[in-house]
Amino acid sequence: MTTRTTNEKEVIQEALLILKEHLEPLKFFQFVAACNLGTGDYLDFKDQLFEDETHESLYQKILEFRKAKESLTQEDS
């Protein structure tokens, strides 16, 4: 029987990639700051996380996220 092991850094990076897709950017960064996940090569990881992003694309994602959230909140009322 073989087992696959991963190091902690790989697990954290994978989890952050998932969170990035499901959280508003501001909340994502708040989470990272709250968990003190600033160890390692941040610049390299930041480049990987946001390689296809611009300020404008992040801003648009924030607006879309908030609009969707407001829509869900109104449906629950």
| pLDDT 10s digits, 8-24 | 888 888 898 899 889 88
48: domain range? 16-76
Distance between CA 52 and CA 59 in Å, rounded?
13
pLDDT band at 77 (very low <50, low <70, confident <90, very high): low
* 3-state helix vs strand vs coil in the chain, percent to 5: 70, 0, 30
pLDDT band at 28 (very low <50, low <70, confident <90, very high): confident
Q: What does pLDDT average to over the chain? A: 80
Determine, yes or no, domain membership for 36: yes
Count CA within 13 A, CB hemisphere, residue 25.
Answer: 15
- The number of distinct structural domains making up the chain is 1
Count CA within 13 A, CB hemisphere, residue 30.
Answer: 5
pLDDT band at 3 (very low <50, low <70, confident <90, very high): low
Q: Across residues 24-48, what is the average pLDDT?
A: 77
Determine, yes or no, domain membership for 8: no
